[in-house]
């Protein structure tokens, strides 16, 4: 292999954010898929450990009068309304009235105490851990798929499974041409496809069991484990990372996942809402990492490698445009190096930037084919800019996690007031 070939391969790995972690978990995922061929047919011979009648649904909501009817409507198609509990956290709109009119139980929590405390209060108020075998925690802007329970509940037949992570779909609206308000849904479509295929599927396999997130938009917890989870851990801006870390740190059991246990979610449609949401997620992640600290485990072996890689890639992605501009002004190239017997010639930052953009767009092409959404090819032209924003927010959240404290209170992004189609299944 020539020096320039070695350099290009290395840069391709970095620019595509497909480092050792994603490559490794993709291989694990393929092994899992092959090993489980035919297992679904065998699973049908067992009596289900958790049935729909054994599940309570908790929906934390803050001023969600627009989104809540769609959320409850989708749930009522697969579970009785009496098993749905809405925890209205300081809402000033019709959230409580809508929930009660739909036949659900609703807590009117005043003043607002934060999402985690709202969830915890509903669980305690209605004694859900005593009355049910499992609790589904679902965001008010999410619409559950009709087959969600059909694919999620059988995973609890394994007594070691204490949580089932849902598969998130970005909600799309019919459109012929790209619009700015759907840009972030398009970006998330690609992101979710990559992350859930590469990470969640492989990390949730019973032989690995190192999942670091059961997303709060629609995940189920066995109540025997939920009793031992500190949902309201102080100082955290979000709860779902912490709840998953609690499962791993306390060795409560395994987080399972099925790509067929789906739920669609509404993504932000303004830059301001997107920035606030992503910053909140990243801050909650870093706060959780710092709260739990390091403990010798297979989980931390996986997480540590991921953290190191994300930090390197974030710095690389942010530094690349700066280096390209500096090159245009000064003509300075990346210095030549010697890798053993391989001589690596100087590399222009413009070459690296072009490679970054090419590989990024190649990812978009692949996902567009898989998702059968040609319009992603147009949206994909703007994805590198969003990736740079994500990288900046990721690093900013790391530094902010050392000082920022939160009581979990939140403001929901703007919602569409018009009815939208249910998230298309992937």
Chunked into runs of 10 residues, the chain (426 residues) has average pLDDT values of 43 50 86 82 63 96 92 96 95 93 94 91 96 96 95 95 94 82 93 88 94 93 96 91 96 95 91 93 95 95 91 88 84 55 62 84 93 94 95 95 76 57 39
pLDDT of residue 411: 65
Residue 56 lies in a domain: no
Q: Is 412 helix (H, G, I), strand (E, B) or coil?
A: coil
Residue 58 lies in a domain: no
> Which parts of 189-270 are beta strand (E)?
218-222, 254-265
Per-residue 3-state assignment (H helix, E strand, C coil) for 316-327:
HHHHHHHHHHHH
Angstrom distance (rounded) from CA 109 to CA 89 = 5
Residue 130 lies in a domain: no
Phi-psi map region of 401: left, alpha, beta (phi>0 left; psi -120 to 50 alpha): alpha
Residue 277 lies in a domain: yes
pLDDT of residue 163: 97
For the entire predicted model, the pTM comes to: 0.87
**Count of domains observed in the chain:** 1
Distances (CA, A) of 233 to 30, 406, 408: 36, 10, 10
Residue 195 lies in a domain: yes
Residue 331 lies in a domain: yes
Angstrom distance (rounded) from CA 412 to CA 407 = 15
Residue 197 lies in a domain: yes
Q: Which residues pair with 168 in a beta bridge?
A: 263
Single out the residue of 406, 225, 198, 230 nearest to residue 302, CA to CA. 198
For residue 206, the Cα-to-chain-centroid distance in whole angstroms is 20
Q: Which domain holds residue 225?
A: 1-43+141-426
Residue 104 lies in a domain: no
pLDDT of residue 38: 72
- Whether 58 and 119 have beta carbons less than 8 Å apart is answered as yes
Angstrom distance (rounded) from CA 18 to CA 14 = 6
pLDDT of residue 269: 87
């Amino acid at each position: 292999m020539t020096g320039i070939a070695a350099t290009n391969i290395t840069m391709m790995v970095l620019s595509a954010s497909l480092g050792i972690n994603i490559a490794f978990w993709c291989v694990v995922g393929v092994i899992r898929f092959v090993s489980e061929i035919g297992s679904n047919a065998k699973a049908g011979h067992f009596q289900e450990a958790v049935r729909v009648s054994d599940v309570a649904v908790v929906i934390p909501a803050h001023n969600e009068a627009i989104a809540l009817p769609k959320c409850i409507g989708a749930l009522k198609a697969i579970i009785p309304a009496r098993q749905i509990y809405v925890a209205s956290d300081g809402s000033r709109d019709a959230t409580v009235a809508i929930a009660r009119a739909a036949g659900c139980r609703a807590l009117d929590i005043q003043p607002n105490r934060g999402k985690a405390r709202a969830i915890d209060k509903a669980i305690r108020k209605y004694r859900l851990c005593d009355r049910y075998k499992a609790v589904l925690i679902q965001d008010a802007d999410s619409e559950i798929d009709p087959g969600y329970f059909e694919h999620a509940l059988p995973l609890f037949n394994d007594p070691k499974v204490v949580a089932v992570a849902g598969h998130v779909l970005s909600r799309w609206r019919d459109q012929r041409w790209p619009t700015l308000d759907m840009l972030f849904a398009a970006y998330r479509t690609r992101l979710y496809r990559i992350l859930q295929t590469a990470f969640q599927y492989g990390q949730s396999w019973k032989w690995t069991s190192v999942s670091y997130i059961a997303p709060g938009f629609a995940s189920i917890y066995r109540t025997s484990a939920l009793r031992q989870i500190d949902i309201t851990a102080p100082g955290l801006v979000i709860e779902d990372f912490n709840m998953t870390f609690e499962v791993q740190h306390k060795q409560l059991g395994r987080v399972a996942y099925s790509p067929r246990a789906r739920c669609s979610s509404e993504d932000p449609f303004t830059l301001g809402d997107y920035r606030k949401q992503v910053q909140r997620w990243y801050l909650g992640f870093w706060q959780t990492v710092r709260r739990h600290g390091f403990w010798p485990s297979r989980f931390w072996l996986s997480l540590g490698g991921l953290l190191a890689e994300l930090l390197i890639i974030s710095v690389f992605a942010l530094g690349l445009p700066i280096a390209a501009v500096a090159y245009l002004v000064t003509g300075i190239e990346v210095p030549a190096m010697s890798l053993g017997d391989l001589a690596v010639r100087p590399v222009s930052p413009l070459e690296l930037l072009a490679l970054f953009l090419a590989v990024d767009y190649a990812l978009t092409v692949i996902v567009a084919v898989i998702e059968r959404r040609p319009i992603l090819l147009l949206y994909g032209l703007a994805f590198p800019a969003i990736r740079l924003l994500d990288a900046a927010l990721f690093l900013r959240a790391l530094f902010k996690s050392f000082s920022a404290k939160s009581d979990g209170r939140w403001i929901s992004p703007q919602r569409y007031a018009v009815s939208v189609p249910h998230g298309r299944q992937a």
